[in-house]
Each structure stands twice: as structure tokens, then as C-alpha cells.
Chain A
Amino acid sequence: MNIEYYNDRYQSNIYKGLEHCFLSSRVVEKIRHSKILLIGVGGVGSEVLKNLVFSGFVNIHLVDLDTISVSNLNRQFLFRSEDVGKYKAVVAKDRITKLCSWSHITASVENIRSRKFPLEFFKQFAAVICALDNHKARLYVNEVCAFAQVPLFETGSTGYQGQVIPILAGTTECYNCEPKPPQTEHIPVCTIRHRPETVDHCVVWATYLFEVLFGNLEDSNPLSDEKEYKVSRLSREWEPNDAGSESVTEKDWEDMTCERIMNKFFIEDLQFIESLKEDTVSSPSRMKVPSQEQLRRHLWNVEEKYSVEDLKLEEQNPHQLVWTSDKAYEVFIFCLKQLLRRWKESKSALIFDKDDTISLAFVTAASTLRAIAFDISAKNSFDVRGIAGRIIPALSTTNAVIGGIVVFQLLRFLSGTHIKDLYNARLSQVPRSRPRHSDEVIITPEVIRPPTAECVICHELLLVTCDTRKVTVRQFVEEGLKEQTKVEPFSVATDEGYIIYESEPDDEVSIESRNTDMSTFAQLQVEEQPISILDESGVHYRAWIRHQCDIPLLIERISSFMDDGCDCL
């Protein structure tokens, strides 16, 4: 049986399957000629890509800027160990093309927000499938699909759970309609600084400590007023200065700095917190605050005791025993010294990287000491890595379910089902009961809801088409917004916070915004991205500016996609 014959039989089975399932031969042609955009070729994306190709789709565009890592290999089956480090989109395209010679895949190693993807790019697709893993990017994709009026299939997978959500902004609820809880729960500053209750609080404190000492200190860091402990400042104190002072050796400097940091964060701070407690009627338990002598004795001999290799083994072992305080102090000092040296060599800020053994061990040690002080159960470096690195557990089986459901829903849509008549599908970890049904379910369909009234993406989108080299901000405001659209703008700004128009500019405001009046869109580089318009009555709009040569300024309100919201055959 030669390969060619087999390929024909593959295709024939695929297309016969479609025909029989959707009772239409036109659906086959429709699917063969539809272009699909797949954003993200990770866990869910790999499954989706395979399902698309073996469901008869030919033209697929992949976008993913990520590279392959070892921990992807338990589920992203298009990648192998020798591919680690290569670009996902490129390898996925190569592998799937080998499996399916008639497919036509384009791979882009880009951020989906890139200017390489203007609105016109999205409009060429029959549908977009989003297999991303972060909220901000999903919001962007949701918005651009709304402007482009392209159906979007949102997917998500976390551990044993997952969901598929078909979206057509304005017709169905979109990703922006329901406020999503932030991915990381916001922990109050006082909890981090004075009242940690869980090990997570201790881990977060430790990562902030890392940032204080070695990183770029942001205001958002709850320890930001400890900037005198930035290593960059500490190092200046010990540098040889005016005549009279002895020069300090490297080793001495390290030792002194370690001692200073440990005294501050593991004695002084804790003593301070304890003094706060004395004023209140709170928890009576005493905190474990070490003495200076106790700290000092840990300074000896850490170099011989520990190595990066040992620490790496520990971080890979989920059953590694939680460190005793002695060990935690020692590891803390060992890592602190390694990081000090690293900082000195690089002369620039260090960023916490969960894949860097020393950084991780530092955070683990610091969080362990913190936890011990507050009588909280600490965790080992394997677990701390998961917390500090915000690792989301993932399974091939969950992705297989989600990848299957989303492609089938896409097929239903393209065969003529109205998007409203598709379902939101949820895969749950345990079976759940449903009202009015006797059986329990693991995969739950939910009827798709209409857009929420307050959603700007579903209701207040303005598509601006003009020659961006010629149209100025003033023209846009006067002729476009005020005359054409009857909108009295109060402000117009980009998502980066760049204000290009204000109806009542502050006297103190920068000169920039005054000059933007006569600038063209092209000069301000505001095309092909969403911008915010706030009008005088407080209504918030989102606008998208796209360039077309030599046409008069045109602003259209985007309303629901086609009349009946389905892609008719």
C-alpha cells in the first residue's frame, strides 16, 4: 500500500465523515477553503492543530512566539526532546506537514499584538481559535476579533479542568463581558509585610525581597521603602573611600552584606512586627526571632556545604523534606553570596527566574525562614517553584478533550449553526449534577449568553478608516467624532496611556498633547491598535484606526456581525 493511496484514503475518510455528520456535501468545500487562525501552539494548541488538519482544514495560520521547553513534552506531542529551545510555531508546522502533506500551514513567530497583524490580517479568517495562556493577550484577541467581526473560539485548560467559549462580540457574550478574577489574587500589603498567614504569603514576600535586593524596585513592591537595602546601594557603602579607611576584601564585603541583610530582615523586621502585636489583642503566639549570634554562626562554611547541583536535585524532588531553619539560613547565605557575585559581574538588575536554581533556592530559603518565624508550615523548593513561578499544572488528557470540543464546535458553526446555538463547554474535575437532569456530567454545555449591557467591546466600537498620513487628530475629532459620529470627545488615548486629545487640557500637562492636534495618525503611530475614547457624557468607546489610501475619513460603528450571525453556506 503506497503512501499516495493511503493519503487519498485518509482524506476521503475525513471528508466522508464530514458529509455524513453534517448531512451536506457543501460543508466539505466550505471547510477545505476556510482559513483558520490558531493563536498559541502549546498544550491546547497542539491538539487543536492536529484536529483541524484531520478534520479537513487546509489553510491554517499559526502564531506563537514561545520556544519549546522540557516541561512541555508531557502533552505537546508535536515536540520532542531534541526540539527544546526551538520555536513552537516552526516545529509544529514542520511536524504536522509531515503527518499531513496536503495541509498548508503558515507559522509566525510573533506576538499577536504585533503591527505585523493589522485588522485586515484577521479579516481573512473564517474563525480564530485562541489557545493562549494569559488574560491580557486574550483580552486583546477578543477585541481585535470584535473589530474584525470574526468569530472567536476561546479555550482554556488548567489541570483537570477546561473550557471552550465561542464568541462573536455583540451577538454573544465576549471575553470582556464578564469581569474575570485576576489570575493572581491580590494580597494586601500589610499581609505581606506584617501578617502572613499562609506559605504563599511567605513565598511572595521572598520574591519581593529578591527584587528589593537585586532587582528593579517598583512602587508596587510592598517592600519598596527598603530601598536602602538594594545591593547597589549597599555596595557603595563598602567601597574604598577617602583616605584613612582600609580597603575591604571581597569576602569581607560579602560577609558583612549578608550579615547586614539577615539582621535587617530576619531580626529587626520581626522585632518590629512583634512590637506591633504587643499593642493589639491579636495572636498570642510568640514569634521565633533568632539572635545575632545564631545568625553569625551560619556564615561559616556554607561554600563547602552546598552546590548548585545539589540544590537542583532538591528542586526536582516533590518529596524533598522542608528545610530546617539551620539549613534554610545556610542556603540563604550561600545563594545570597552567589547572587551578590552575579550582580557584581553583570552590574545590572537581576530578575527572578524560576528556572534558575540559585534564585529559586534563595526564595525558598527566605520563605522558609519567614514561615518558621510566623509559625506557618513551609514548603520545599519544588512547591515554591510552582508558587513563585505561577506554574499551571497541565495534562495531555485535558487538552485532548478541549481540543476536540473546540474543533467540533467550529465544524458545527461552519456547517451553518448560528453562533448563539453553539455551547460554552466546561470540563470539570469531578462529575456534577445538573438541574432537571438525572445524570451527572463531566462535560457541561452551557447556553451562550447575550452580551452584557456594560461591555464596551460588544456595544461601543468605532472603526476608523482613513488615509493616516493625511488625517490629523483635529480632523478626526472635529469632522469624524463630532460631525459623523456625533460623539463629543473628552479624551482620546492609547492603551499605553499616551493622550492624543483632551478637550480640557491641564495647564500643567506636557507640551506633547498640545502638539498632537495637528499631527497625523501616521506621525503619532496610533494605527492598528485599540484606542480609548471617553466622551463628555462619560461613555467609553474603543476605536481602531486603519489606513486606506486616499479615502475620506470614515467612522463606522461596529454592530453585530452578519444579520443572522451565522456563516451561511
Chain B
Amino acid sequence: MTSAIYDRQIRLWGLQTQSKISQSRIFLYGYHCGLLEELAKDLVLTGVGTLVIGEYSEVTETLGRQPMFVTYLGHDLEQLVEALSVLNPHAQIYTVNTFLKQHFSQLVEEQNELQRVSKLIETKTFAICCLVCERLGSPIALALDRVCRDNNTFFMYAEIAGALGFLILDLGCHYTYRQLKKISERASKTKIRSFKNDEVIDLDVNDSEEAKDDHSYSIPLEDEHTLDYPTLEQVFSCKCGLLQSSSKASLVFLAFVRKWKEEYSVTSQQDCLEERQRKFEMFLQRQKIGLRKCEMQSLYKFCSFIDVELISASSCLAGILGREIVKLISRNEKPIFNIFIFDAFSCLGSIVDIPSTLRVDRKRSRDDEVESPIYDI
């Protein structure tokens, strides 16, 4: 019986959440990198019902220019899907192409890949869409975020740059979740005893510290909360130089990484560390960002590993992301709101939220490439 496999996690979040997990449908898209494999592996092990995985179709051409990823489950997406199916024979795991052929064959004709993916999201099949490593810096992520928003799909942006990892969540402007209350004190008061036939009807959920899933006949003791997430566009256009956060420097660096991918994907310049650091300085000047000396020093160091992958850092970020996905399925806990930054060097995993005062809708200017939502990639 499959619940025997999930015994150790059912004891944590209950059968109801496990059941929801087994019915969930999740879409992963991006580079076939270690982060993608790790995330897929964690989701499959956790019991996710349907997983569809897509990678950028232009990959083979840009193989020389793509970051140095570390993968191990499969040489290509088909092999990865096969390896994942072995981990969980009950899960339905597809590549995008196979999934489309089987369920939405009309979309297979779509020439433009981003359009194909967008239309797939528009079918509202998936609860969650996760972009793993943006190829061009920002445009793909922004386009997907918009499509997801329009179709009530949760969007998660995951980026890895060597020892740094980033997650940005956009769960829409009205994300609700229930926080199950701890009710250990109530336990003794919520029993009903039937004296006639010696029955004890147990009305408490549990008397342990962690709020677990409730039994169908118990009193739900919940508080409902609502969160208003900024769009990805608002996050990207936020002037992170103005943030008061301790993680300001990391967010500045993410902005630089995005810019670097955007430029590097266009030019074929050979780059070295000094060249990157020079570009970084130029970036700071153009954005008029001022940083402390110690922040500058660590960011200079980070420049050296923009385009490499370390499986230990990816594994860690995937674990955090996997946990968030379960939260979105169970709706019993507050998810990350809204940015998570992991720095493997300092062992720090921090959460930043963009205050509403800094959320601006980007004014379109001549410098902006971001005009139309449809990209020819």
C-alpha cells in the first residue's frame, strides 16, 4: 500500500495533504540543470501526481554558451523522465512534448516555444509553474509570470548562480491560506462522552505541538490569511539599491546576473573574471547603486561563479522550493513572501519582501526591450 511509503511524511502533514499532493499537477520549465533535476526528484519522491518538464528548445545551439550545469539523472529530458518514473512508478511524468501530444495535440503546431508554453498554461492544467534558470535574463520569466497570473497559476522563479540561489514567488494578488492553530490546551475540553454505551467521541485533532491535518469530524480551528504578492515585473523593476534589507547586496547581484545573461546571450564575447567585474561596476554606475565596501568585495567574488553550478547549492535550493510547493498544495502554512535568497558561503537562507512603497509599475522607456509579451526564443 502506497501510504506505507509516505508514512514518515503523513505523520507530519496528514493524509489529506498527502492526498492533495497525489492529485497535484506541476509544470517545470527552464534549463535542464541540476536544480531542475533536484526539484523534480524531490517532488516525485514526495508523491506529486503529475509532473510535466520542459526545457528550452534552443539549447543545443547555445550549448557552448550555457552555464556549466551539473546533472546526473539523465542526459536529456527523456532520460530524466524515465529516471524519475523509476523513483515513483505511480507518478505521471512527462516531457512537454509528450504531454502536449497526448493531451493538447493542437498546441504541438505552435512554432514559437514560448507561445506553446504559454498556451499550455492557459489550459489551466497546472496549479504551479516553476521556471528554473532564466535563459535570457528576464523576458521569459516576465512573460510566464504574466500568463500564470492571468490563469490563476502560481508562478515560481528559481535562479542559481554558483553558490547563490534565488526564489521569487508570485502567488497572485489574493493568495489565501489557513494557519491551523495549536490546540493542545483545548484537547481535554473538546471531548464528548456518551455515558450510555461507553463511547468516547474524540473531538480534538491532536495534542502535539505541530498542527497536523485535521480529521474529518474535528472542529477546524483556523485563521484565514490573505497575501498580495507583487508581480515579477514589480520585483524586477524595484530599485533594490534603495532597500533597507540586509540582503540588498544579493538582490543587486541578481539584477546584475539577469543583465549579464541578457547581454551575454546576445554577444559572443569571451569573458574572464576581470571583464565581469568591470561590467558589474558599470552596471552599478548605470543603476546608480551605492554599496558598502564589504558588500562590493563579496559581490566581486560572486562574479567568478555566475555561470557555474554547484550541486550542493542547487540541492539546497531545490529542497526549499519543494517545501514551498507542498505549502501551496496544502494551503496550511504561510509561504515565502516573496523572495528567498540562499548564500552557501554564509549558510544563510533569508526572506526578503519588497515593501509596497518600492513596488512600481515599470515605465516603458526606449532602453527597455520588454515591449510585447511574446518572445521569439
Whether A397 contacts B316 by the Cβ 8 Å rule is no
**CA–CA, A128 and B242, complex, Å:** 44
Whether A445 contacts B348 by the Cβ 8 Å rule is yes
| Chain B proximity of A564: nearest CB distance (Å) | 20
Contact with B along A409-435 (1 / 0, CB 8 A): 101100000000001010101110000
Determine whether B11 belongs to the interface, using a CB cutoff of 8 Å to chain A: yes
Taking a contact as CB atoms closer than 8 A, the residue among A54, A395, A404 that contacts B9 in the complex is A395
Whether A393 contacts B9 by the Cβ 8 Å rule is yes
Whether B198 contacts A54 by the Cβ 8 Å rule is no
Determine whether B145 belongs to the interface, using a CB cutoff of 8 Å to chain A: no
Whether B346 contacts A394 by the Cβ 8 Å rule is no
Contact with A along B169-196 (1 / 0, CB 8 A): 0000000000000000001100100000
Determine whether B350 belongs to the interface, using a CB cutoff of 8 Å to chain A: yes
Q: Which residues of chain A come closer than 8 Å to B4, judged between CB atoms?
A: 70-71, 316
Q: Which residues of chain A come closer than 8 Å to B361, judged between CB atoms?
A: none
Whether A75 contacts B8 by the Cβ 8 Å rule is yes
Whether A396 contacts B347 by the Cβ 8 Å rule is no
Determine whether B342 belongs to the interface, using a CB cutoff of 8 Å to chain A: yes
Stretch of B66-74, B260-268, B368-376 with 4 or more beta carbons under 8 angstroms from chain A: B66-74
Determine whether B301 belongs to the interface, using a CB cutoff of 8 Å to chain A: yes
Determine whether B332 belongs to the interface, using a CB cutoff of 8 Å to chain A: no
Taking a contact as CB atoms closer than 8 A, the residue among B5, B34, B323, B336 that contacts A54 in the complex is B34
Whether B191 contacts A377 by the Cβ 8 Å rule is yes
| CB-CB nearest in chain A for B202 | A322
Contact with B along A359-376 (1 / 0, CB 8 A): 000000000000010011
Determine whether B215 belongs to the interface, using a CB cutoff of 8 Å to chain A: yes
| Chain B proximity of A49: nearest CB distance (Å) | 12
Q: Which residues of chain B come closer than 8 Å to A412, judged between CB atoms?
A: 345
Whether B187 contacts A377 by the Cβ 8 Å rule is yes
**CA–CA, A159 and B13, complex, Å:** 10
Whether A20 contacts B305 by the Cβ 8 Å rule is yes
Determine whether A569 belongs to the interface, using a CB cutoff of 8 Å to chain B: no
Q: Which residues of chain A come closer than 8 Å to B316, judged between CB atoms?
A: 400-401, 403-405, 408, 443
Taking a contact as CB atoms closer than 8 A, the residue among B1, B311, B347 that contacts A51 in the complex is B311
Whether A391 contacts B8 by the Cβ 8 Å rule is yes
Q: Which residues of chain A come closer than 8 Å to B86, judged between CB atoms?
A: 80
Q: A17-B308, A405-B312, A443-B349 are in contact. Are A395 and B246 (CB under 8 A)?
A: no
Determine whether A531 belongs to the interface, using a CB cutoff of 8 Å to chain B: no
Determine whether B6 belongs to the interface, using a CB cutoff of 8 Å to chain A: yes
| CB-CB nearest in chain B for A406 | B312
Pair count A-B, CB < 8 A: 242
Whether B320 contacts A319 by the Cβ 8 Å rule is no
Q: Which residues of chain B come closer than 8 Å to A23, judged between CB atoms?
A: 301, 304
**CA–CA, A427 and B305, complex, Å:** 25
Chain A residues 22-75 with CB under 8 Å of chain B are 23, 47, 50-51, 54-55, 70-71, 73-75
Whether B323 contacts A395 by the Cβ 8 Å rule is yes
Size category of the binding interface on chain B:
35 or more
Stretch of B39-47, B98-106, B110-118, B130-138 with 4 or more beta carbons under 8 angstroms from chain A: B39-47
Whether B9 contacts A442 by the Cβ 8 Å rule is no
Whether A21 contacts B304 by the Cβ 8 Å rule is yes
| CB-CB nearest in chain B for A16 | B68
Whether A391 contacts B11 by the Cβ 8 Å rule is yes
| Chain B proximity of A293: nearest CB distance (Å) | 14
**CA–CA, A513 and B26, complex, Å:** 68
Whether A322 contacts B70 by the Cβ 8 Å rule is no
Contact with B along A425-459 (1 / 0, CB 8 A): 10101110000011111111100000000000000
Q: Which residues of chain A come closer than 8 Å to B1, judged between CB atoms?
A: 316
| CB-CB nearest in chain A for B38 | A400
Whether A325 contacts B198 by the Cβ 8 Å rule is yes
**CA–CA, A404 and B344, complex, Å:** 9
Whether A401 contacts B319 by the Cβ 8 Å rule is yes
**CA–CA, A425 and B320, complex, Å:** 14
| CB-CB nearest in chain B for A387 | B208
| CB-CB nearest in chain B for A399 | B319
**CA–CA, A395 and B348, complex, Å:** 21
Chain B residues 21-64 with CB under 8 Å of chain A are 34, 38, 41-42, 45-47
**CA–CA, A411 and B163, complex, Å:** 11
For the complex, would chain B's binding face be called helix, strand, loop or mixed by DSSP majority? mixed
**CA–CA, A347 and B103, complex, Å:** 62
Residue of B34, B210, B311, B313 with highest tally of chain A CB at under 10 A: B311
Whether A386 contacts B11 by the Cβ 8 Å rule is yes
Q: Which residues of chain A come closer than 8 Å to B348, judged between CB atoms?
A: 441, 443-445
Q: A408-B312, A431-B351 are in contact. Are A21 and B163 (CB under 8 A)?
A: yes
Q: Which residues of chain A come closer than 8 Å to B312, judged between CB atoms?
A: 51, 55, 403-405, 407-408, 411
Q: Which residues of chain A come closer than 8 Å to B304, judged between CB atoms?
A: 20-21, 23
**CA–CA, A394 and B45, complex, Å:** 12
Q: A54-B311, A159-B12, A324-B199 are in contact. Are A400 and B70 (CB under 8 A)?
A: no
Determine whether B123 belongs to the interface, using a CB cutoff of 8 Å to chain A: no
| CB-CB nearest in chain B for A422 | B347
Q: Which residues of chain A come closer than 8 Å to B68, judged between CB atoms?
A: 12-13, 16-17
For the complex, would chain A's binding face be called helix, strand, loop or mixed by DSSP majority? mixed
| CB-CB nearest in chain B for A14 | B70
| Chain A proximity of B26: nearest CB distance (Å) | 14
**CA–CA, A14 and B67, complex, Å:** 12
| CB-CB nearest in chain A for B324 | A397
**CA–CA, A399 and B207, complex, Å:** 26
| CB-CB nearest in chain A for B348 | A445
Whether A400 contacts B9 by the Cβ 8 Å rule is no
Whether B308 contacts A16 by the Cβ 8 Å rule is yes
Chain A residues 65-111 with CB under 8 Å of chain B are 70-71, 73-75, 77, 80-81, 99-100
Determine whether B87 belongs to the interface, using a CB cutoff of 8 Å to chain A: yes
Q: A404-B312, A443-B348 are in contact. Are A74 and B9 (CB under 8 A)?
A: yes
**CA–CA, A292 and B313, complex, Å:** 65
| Chain A proximity of B368: nearest CB distance (Å) | 29
Q: Which residues of chain B come closer than 8 Å to A81, judged between CB atoms?
A: 5
| Chain A proximity of B294: nearest CB distance (Å) | 15
Contact with B along A310-341 (1 / 0, CB 8 A): 00000011110110111000000000000000
**CA–CA, A197 and B86, complex, Å:** 46
Q: Which residues of chain A come closer than 8 Å to B70, judged between CB atoms?
A: 10, 13-14, 17, 54
Q: Which residues of chain B come closer than 8 Å to A393, judged between CB atoms?
A: 8-9, 11-12
Determine whether A378 belongs to the interface, using a CB cutoff of 8 Å to chain B: yes
| Chain B proximity of A54: nearest CB distance (Å) | 4
Q: Which residues of chain B come closer than 8 Å to A391, judged between CB atoms?
A: 7-8, 11
Q: Which residues of chain A come closer than 8 Å to B187, judged between CB atoms?
A: 377
Whether A50 contacts B14 by the Cβ 8 Å rule is no
* Given A18-B310, A23-B301, A439-B352, 16 extra CB contacts under 8 A: A10-B70, A51-B311, A71-B7, A74-B45, A80-B87, A81-B5, A316-B1, A319-B15, A324-B199, A377-B191, A378-B202, A400-B38, A407-B311, A407-B312, A439-B351, A442-B340
Closest 5 CB pairs of A and B: A443-B349, A404-B316, A400-B319, A404-B315, A401-B319
Could you list which residues of chain A lie within 8 angstroms of chain B, going by C-beta atoms? 1, 3, 6, 10, 12-14, 16-18, 20-21, 23, 47, 50-51, 54-55, 70-71, 73-75, 77, 80-81, 99-100, 159-160, 164, 198-199, 316-319, 321-322, 324-326, 372, 375-378, 383, 386, 391-401, 403-405, 407-409, 411-412, 423, 425, 427, 429-431, 437-445
Q: Name 19 A/B residue pairs within 8 A (Cβ), A-sorted.
A: A1-B75, A10-B70, A17-B68, A17-B310, A20-B162, A316-B3, A316-B4, A317-B3, A322-B202, A326-B197, A391-B8, A396-B42, A397-B42, A400-B318, A405-B344, A439-B246, A439-B247, A442-B351, A444-B348
